[in-house]
Amino acid sequence: MYLYIFIFLTELYPVVNNLLNITYNSTVYRTLTLLTFFIIAIVFLRDVLIKKTIPKKLVMIILIALIMISSILLTMSIHGNVDSFAETKYLTVVIRAFPMILLAYILTRKTINWQVKQVKLINILISLSLLKYLYLNKSSFFLAHTLNFGGVNYNDFSYISVLNIALSFVLLFDLYLKNSTRKVQQSILILTSLVISYTALFFSGGRGAMVLSIIFLVLFFFNVLKQTKVSVKKTSKLVLLTSLLLVSVSFIVLNNETLKDGIFRGFSFLDLSGGGLIDWENTSGRLVIYRDSLELIQNSPFWGHGIGSVYLIHPSAHFSHNLFLDLLIDGGVFLLLISILFIIFVFTKSIKNSCDFRYYFSFSLFLFSFVNLLSGSNYLIEPILWFSLTYILLLSNRQEREVITVKA
């Protein structure tokens, strides 16, 4: 299970803290991150030496990653005056993001049943932690900005909740396709996890996570409708179970003012008055950040300012809080077009094979990171993004073995 923990280290650290009543400690987290780096490197090297092969796709991905790291070093030397924040982020690229490429390769070689078991364990762990937090805070007056879940704030709490929603839907669909003797019991457990996770999400009122919860629900039903080989009886049962989930969540929400406020807060960025799609007054200052980003883009529209330069030159924030603006600042129109073509390829390949557990799981993780990058984080430091992209690229339906032999 430890390999899967490494994917979600950022999300699982506060989950465990909350379960065990441990105070968040940045030194402990950094130590765990460093250990993750070394363990993944050791496991990868051991795997390569045992099998004496490396997929050509992986070699290409590693080369691209090394080129990006070299570009970051070049950017640092050109711009100079690298502050502590930028240094930390650059180090994160090497210590957290780059190892995810190697981890994706390791996990693509594991059996699907093994991977399903790991996802189940993580799903249970997160559900228990969310349930504990909700139970202990059920009678208290809630303010989003005062929430502390294992050392993280309401926004991180909302993304942990929606990550668990994604994992639950992946498990529910996998169960839907199987002829398990314990299907009823497992369905109840997964639906319980979904109720807990949706309640926690509404409790937090996180904007990006609220949007993601809808996307994951739509993706789930898309896969159900796509799977024509499954009997109508099984499909009807699944629709019934999902309806029970929605009814249960609706009942909980309608009887709790705090949850109603959370939902309102989660969609407060939408302008329902007819003046426009986005209410910029409820976007946490994003409009100012976006304007500053556009000015930087205008200064070098075609080639950008260098990979990772946004951390050094953005005047109002350390990055744009938008994936496409960050890409334009770093690499201009050239990098943006390459990235868009790559994203289209990932979407096409994933949707085409979305009924396969591996694709459904990795595509859900990609969407989790992608939506977050549209309003929150930066693409260079998102471990789950790099893991999911590499995982999807390395997957092959024909299981061909395009490899490079490693001489002992």
The pair of structure tokens assigned to 21 is: 């009543």
148 Cβ neighbours under 8 A, 6+ residues apart: none
For 122-175, what is each residue's pLDDT tens digit? 999 999 999 999 888 765 545 555 678 999 988 899 999 999 999 999 999 998
* C-beta of residue 277 within 8 angstroms of C-beta of residue 291: no
pLDDT band (50, 70, 90) for residue 184: confident
Rounded to the nearest 5°, which phi and psi values hold at 375?
-140, -5
Dihedral angle over CA of 366, 369, 375, 376, nearest 10: -170
Q: How far apart are CA 298 and CA 99, in angstroms?
A: 34
Q: Which tens digit of pLDDT belongs to each residue from 378-405?
A: 999 999 999 999 999 999 755 444 444 4
Q: For 226-268, what is each residue's pLDDT tens digit?
A: 875 655 666 666 667 666 766 666 666 556 666 556 555 555 5
Q: What was the pLDDT predicted at 160?
A: 97
What are the tokens at 361? Answer: 């799981």
Q: What is the dihedral of CA 123, 125, 128, 133, to 10 degrees?
A: -110
Question: Which among 108, 149, 119, 106 has a CA at the least distance from the CA of 19?
Answer: 149
